[in-house]
Amino acid sequence: MSSAEDWLAVHEAEGLKMVKAFCRIPSVSADPAYADGIAAGASFAADRLREAGFPFVEVIETGGHPAVLAEWVHDDTLPTILVYGHYDVQPPDPLDKWRSAPFEPEVRDDRLYARGASDDKGPLSVAILALRAFAETAGKPPLNVKVLIEGEEESGSPHFAPTVARLRDRLACDLVVSADGAMWRPDLPSVTVASRGLTALDVTVEGAAKDLHSGRHGGSAPNPIRALAAMLATLHDADGMVAVPGFTDGVKDPDPAIARAIEAAGFDTGEYYDSIGAERPDPLPSGRELLERQWLVPTLEFNGIFGGYTGHGTKTVIPDTATVKITCRLVAGQDPAAVAGAIETHLRGVLPTGYRLSVRRHGPGSAAFALDPALPGLSVAEEVLEEVLGQKPLRVAMGATVPIGEVFARQLGTGCVFFSFATSDEDYHAPNEFFRLSSFRTGQIAWVRLLERLATALA
């Protein structure tokens, strides 16, 4: 056992006290009512980094909620890593569903219950404590370390990419290690090596210049709901696969290890449909097919559709417009702008005569993230996880969108290894969020070993 590990074992109670104090701060990023909590969250993170020995710690203005940047570059001959995390949390609502108050952390059954415990204050504290253990025992970390902690992750990180771009030189590193992200299942150690990107658009079809009486005009006037429904039906084939020409242009083959993880996962599809309360389709897709669709296949989903009268009773109206909200989850190689363009071109092609079409894109979207399977930092992380968790981790993809990996790849030209000890069943974003204290302890040991080994592996 290294002396940093000894220090962590001796100071376990102090570490828990620290993460509880962090969780007591209501740093909700989405709601301006919590502005004080955001400020307190940033300064708490900055103080803990100073306590962990960082000689340079700065609260950085971003144009939104501040970020915290710490730098400890003590030896030019050693590699440099950048640790990422976030101090903001999701809103605590609905409050009446919590067994203990969201900002009054409570330990029950070796779990810490609090908003932010799992996402991301617990896993971030794990990394900070491991860094502090080196400062307390060796006087410095085994390699150069920078830390970037943002305060807008839970509200879409609107200022994150521009901030990373602006600080590009100060953030330069050999590898990013994220203390955010979560292991997929408590029974299966995993590392996330890919996540899907996102592009979003609103599509509106307009018929007449105003709502019309369906008795007076029915049969002669254009009905945009009918036109839109017919157009949307052309976007997928009978199997639900996207049928837009150009949609999958540029798609790259995934890491073959993900296919092995899909096999090993033994995903029970019947149970899956039961768990979401949907009818089981007949025939039932295989577990492999379903996980491939969640992780490796791009999607086009209708998130909302509206037009005309949607209130109680009836209203005999022919609406002037109908709108659909669409989001696409993208895989590696797809360009978000090109995907939105392909959808728009397709819809213009199937627009019936007598209607107008307008398409509004929500921002530039984000590209998917895929880690280079041969990245040295990845195999070091896998080796450490196998050692502390007793099982070789699976390389998994994520259906959701985690923009940081792609932002760091684009702005800094570095890979990002996800090394969080949260697990996706820990009810983050929901009432009774918790973090397993076993993960809190194991995670600190793992971070110590990861930092030690990256010092030589990245050299």
Q: Which residues bind Zn ion (CB under 5 A)?
A: 119-120, 180
Query: Would you say 16 or 182 has its CB closer to Zn ion?
Result: 182
Phi, psi of 30 (to 5 degrees): -75, -25
H-run or E-run covering 341: helix 336-350
Query: Would you say 120 or 382 has its CB closer to Zn ion?
Result: 120
Query: With contact defined as beta carbons under 8 Å apart, do 34 and 27 qualify?
Result: yes
| Residues 397, 407: Cα–Cα separation, whole Å | 17
Beta bridge partners of 200: 327
For residue 191, the minimal CB distance to Zn ion (Å) is 16
Query: Would you say 42 or 242 has its CB closer to Zn ion?
Result: 42
For residue 237, the minimal CB distance to Zn ion (Å) is 35
For residue 393, the minimal CB distance to Zn ion (Å) is 19
DSSP codes, 20-62: HHHHTS--BSS-GGGHHHHHHHHHHHHHHHHHTT-SEEEEEP-
Q: CB under 8 Å to 371, separation ≥6 — which residues?
A: 193, 194, 255, 378, 405, 415, 416, 417
Query: With contact defined as beta carbons under 8 Å apart, do 139 and 379 qualify?
Result: no
Closest CA to 446 of 82, 126, 14: 126
Query: Would you say 62 or 157 has its CB closer to Zn ion?
Result: 157
Query: Would you say 54 or 84 has its CB closer to Zn ion?
Result: 84
Closest CA to 399 of 369, 429, 379, 434: 369
For residue 117, the minimal CB distance to Zn ion (Å) is 12
What amino acid occupies position 323? T
Give the 3-state DSSP-derived string for 413-436, with helices as H, strands as E and coil as C: CCCEEECCCCECCCCCCCCCCEEE
For residue 120, the minimal CB distance to Zn ion (Å) is 4
Structure-block tokens of residue 244: 């837009």
Query: With contact defined as beta carbons under 8 Å apart, do 196 and 398 qualify?
Result: yes
- Walk across the sheet containing 321-330 and list its strands: 301-306, 321-330, 197-206, 356-361
Query: Would you say 134 or 369 has its CB closer to Zn ion?
Result: 369
For residue 312, the minimal CB distance to Zn ion (Å) is 40
Query: Would you say 368 or 422 has its CB closer to Zn ion?
Result: 422
Query: Would you say 181 or 319 has its CB closer to Zn ion?
Result: 181
For residue 445, the minimal CB distance to Zn ion (Å) is 22
Query: Would you say 151 or 415 has its CB closer to Zn ion?
Result: 151
**Distance set, CA 285 to CA 185, 292, 296, 329, 331 (Å):** 21, 11, 16, 20, 21
For residue 145, the minimal CB distance to Zn ion (Å) is 20
Structure-block tokens of residue 64: 């939104």
For residue 146, the minimal CB distance to Zn ion (Å) is 19
| Residues 226, 337: Cα–Cα separation, whole Å | 28
Query: Would you say 157 or 223 has its CB closer to Zn ion?
Result: 157
Closest CA to 62 of 181, 133, 166: 166
Query: Would you say 119 or 255 has its CB closer to Zn ion?
Result: 119
| Residues 397, 103: Cα–Cα separation, whole Å | 32
Number of H helices, E strands in the chain: 15, 18
| Residues 34, 36: Cα–Cα separation, whole Å | 5
Query: Would you say 119 or 452 has its CB closer to Zn ion?
Result: 119
